[in-house]
Structure 1
Amino acid sequence: MANVQFFLSLLCYNFLLSSPVRASDSLLSPKGVNFEVAALMLVKSKMVDKFLVLSGWDINSVDPCTWNMVGCSAEGFVVSLEMASTGLSGTLSPSIGYLTHLKTLLLQNNQLSGPIPVEIGKLSQLQTLDLSGNQIDGEIPSSLGYLTHLTYLRLNRNKLTGQIPSFVANLTGLSFLDLSFNNLSGPTPKILAKGYSVKGNSFLCNPQTCEGDSKPINGTGTGTTVPPGKSNRKRWIISLAAGVSCTFVISVVLIVCGIHWYRSRLLFTSYVQQDYELEIGHLKRFPFRELQAATGNFSPKNILGQGGFGVVYKGTLPDNTMVAVKRLKDPNYTGEVQFQTEVEMIGLALHRNLLRLYGFCMTPEERLLIYPYMPNGSVADRLRDSCRERPSLDWNRRTRIALGTARGLLYLHEQCNPKIIHRDVKAANILLDESFEAVVGDFGLAKLLDRRDSHVTTAVRGTVGHIAPEYLSTGQSSEKTDVFGFGILLLELITGQKALDAGNGQIQKGMILDWVRTLHEEKRLEVIVDRDLRGCFDALELEKVVELALQCTQSHPNLRPRMSEILKVLECLGQLENLEELQGGDNTNAEDPTACSFSRNYSDNHEGSSFIIEAIELSGPR
């Protein structure tokens, strides 16, 4: 094993000395060994993989881009490792530094131990690093300060010791830095990140109050030695000063609170809404006046859409940034604290297929959320757009939208902590960026507006035709509620019709699901395909996607697949499509199409023992 590791290390070292021009040429050694494969195998060798999530990583492979939890660029470089919540233990190998094109490294919620390798500082393109929720010890390496592209850094809930390096504190590009709940000590430097947390570190102290070695709250540890007499006198002085200070602070707080209450009562009915002075982590707090100006005082001309959660307006900020401003309905359903908690949770959900939350605005009568503007609108808009000679969503784009949506929902269900149930998955809530990539919007909003807990509530949120039967009848939602909505979305993508109106001249108005089930039994699936596609679709893919949609929309939630299983089927279809292209359309030697199917037994009774995290594509914020 030692010889193998030495060989791999040598390959990686030679790779770092090279200056690659094209990945296809530079990633291979003269003997055909992929240098990034070698680096990944070194990373694997230092980890204990009790659930065999890394079993597909093979030293004999020349392409790591097909491996579980590995994402690559178009050139073939490894750009993301998404290995969160996979039960990995062991240590993080210094060989991680050989993956010089890495942009995203997610290893949160595992059992990794040992120090953070200083070699991470070599990852000059790294944007997102999350090692939270492990047992990592040692000091925070100063080399992290070299990562000038780093936007999100989470090292919280570990066993880190020592001081916060000034190089890390001085990273100006960080949107959020989380060092909370470690054993960090010494003076807390000025941190330049837009949002940060260092709570839960008992040994940290303010630079002005630190004397000698910092002391923990419980009084243990070493400090500056003081003679007994002077010590008693010093304690008396400190106690007196503390008492006076506390009295002064309490008085000031009471005065300020009184003034604030009086001022808020005066301004409550004023024409211009006043903002609560509330900061939420790394999110920006927008003044109400700025959003009024950006949207033309919420002009009807700027309405992008409206639904059960509120009205969305197009806006232009003073720096000419285009945004979408969602003006929530029923703003008084949640108080300040709950709104802060839920919005912060939504803001921390970062995935390439989720709509990023830019910021918020909160006044006594308003709750507003600010998102990036999506230039291609929603899937629903594009499916109903019949004014073009060619449809803006061809068959390939529709299958990619399904794949991207599945990845976003999988992240919400299985990677977020706590998990998020969308409860209104439909074409209108799937947005399209400039490249027509699917971006799931409106996630997490149901809990913002519901009076009760999101899992059991009488306030059913959703759209008729998309709502799972158990949610409609009992008000109880789960991940399988979203799976049902995703199945209806698949049918929308195939037919181009609304869930409650398949009015394409073939049948009367009614439930699209019933219509598709009937034609599936009659083996006449070509009838359901959107006429705008003009026959340009893959018959084999159509059959598999319809079968998947019908599995997702079964009446009993336990019979529906999980999003991880759904994603596996969709990714398999994409692989078959690529294989057909390579073979010039002749798929006689292709993989067995049944390989893109899954077991029809989805009883939740076995989920705990058989659960394996599937490959997903996480990334930094959009």
Structure 2
Amino acid sequence: MNLGGQLGSNLNFPSIIELDLSNNHIEGPIPFTLPPTLRSLSLSANQLNGSIPDALSLLTQLSNLDLSNNNLSGQLPSSTGSLSSLTTLHLQNNQLSGTLYVLQDLPLQDLNIENNLFSGPIPPKLLTIPNFSKNGNPFNTTIIPSPPAVAPAPVAIGSSPQESPWKVAHGPSALTAPVPASTRKSVIAKSVIWIAGAGLLVFIILGVFLLMLRCIKRRPEKKNANKLDVGVFVGPLNKPTRSDSDVEAANQEEKGKFEVPNRSTDFIPKVQEEQDIYVKVVSATSEGNNGRESINTGGGSKLSSLQPPPQHFLPTSPGEKVIINPAITTQVTKRQVMSNSIRVYTVALLQQYTNSFSQENCIGEGTLGPVYRAELPGGKLLAVRKLDATASMGQSHEQFLQLVSSISKIQHANIARLVGYCAEHSQRLLVYEYCSNGTLHDTLHGYDNHCIKLPWNARIQVALGAARALEYLHENFQPPIVHRNFRSANVLLNDNLEVCISDCGLGPLLSSGSTGQLSGRLLTAYGYSAPEFESGSYTQQSDVFSFGVVMLELLTGRKSYEKSLPRGEQFLVRWAVPQLHDIDALSKMVDPCLKGTYPMKSLSRFADIVSSCIQREPEFRPAMSEIVQDLLRIK
């Protein structure tokens, strides 16, 4: 039908069995959200590129797969071996590479891999397939020759076939042809040269090894002295009780679970300076105690049983000591573990946990893409944001990893924590901790079956939690972060109705290209944007304005924009501003759900904070730290 464009990632057909899109002009990658009910899939004769996604392994009923005549590249994913129903596989005329061992145990009856870049030997099991087409690949079908053998003496060359395995290994010609004397002398000479060379090489290696041992024995004192120079704590620590092998095994296990697979240190989440101190202490002091206890600062490693002494002293300059609070160091090490516990998920796993990103698991439609509830096998819940292609358009893989690294450093009790990510097959997903009570928007404006009754004091605590989160982003985090999309739909509530702000650190995506234009239009349309945003300016004070709008929602129970209301009341800010300083009008605009159960003085102070946040001029709005203090004084 001459169809063009891309397939996208929304092929959520619940019951489809056969899907044939062959002979079109479809571009882009193969989507990873394919219907798990498929038995026959044909995407041949298109312009698809990228690699074959791992998520194909979830198509357990698939018996016919045709991806021929495209521009696919890369190796066959190992998960292909789990397609236990696959009988027909056509991959011809692509640029696929690697070996074919992953296919050897499939019940294939028809396999066509012609004109690709497959290499290595062909598995013998594939040669028994009735219809097997393999021409046009650089297969290595030759037998690897045996290494040159060293003849111990010329008599072995002249001995009988039964007594000479060397002759048998070199084929029948060696058994029948006479060996000239000159050849025997040449072989002996070469053998002597090889033996002499090998002996000399062994001698050199032994010499270097002994020299290294000698150097190592001389350097421990200097090594420890250098470590103390960088400013480690001086003080005894308990001796490690685990053996070297136990420590190594534990580190390797944890590393395999959580390490971010990125070889460039520029994109690995880094630990802040105060977090590094405690790790250095344990390293240096444990070596001083002849122990080899190590603390793995990468992916979610568990700290050892070593405990800090009551006080630690940090040498800064001769004659000067700085006392470090042990409670702070304990908190630092916990934060350090959190900041690096970022797991890398595969698309196939996330698809499994979200039931193929089904609509019933969709818990939000954000500016950057939908959010899904994911349930792990143990019952733990996570929230998965699937970034739209437009949100990350123009952003390289390295830039995305840098973004993940930056978000992973954001650690605050009132900010939703990033626990993992996925960057596979042109798909980018962010995995966060799950908040069971949904968003503040749904709590205030949702249906009766979802609505949670928020008393006045609880609303003050919600405002305080959100203010503390923005204070941390604006004034405590380095470099400072502007949220750019603060609204009640991004204020999450956990089991205890504690606030967790979502979408923190995603400003680079919200400010770029068409996504930036869309997020700006949405902020304006929903009544959260500050006046200066119309001129393209967005700063920390713009976040303060949006925070003031959310406080108005808490105060009035109204949405920031409600089209069904009379024209003069549709935008909450425009309607509320004239009434905030009129005590009688203020009483009438309070959320009816509160039923008058609030102190009037507390309500008045709350309204004063709102008024200061939604000032038209940004310089007249307070900093978030001031707002936090004002909220703490409300009783």
Give the structure-1-normalised TM-score. 0.49
- Structure with the larger RCO, 1 or 2 (CA within 8 Å, 6+ apart): 1
- Which structure shows the higher helix fraction? 2
- In the superposition, the TM-score normalised over structure 2's length comes to 0.48
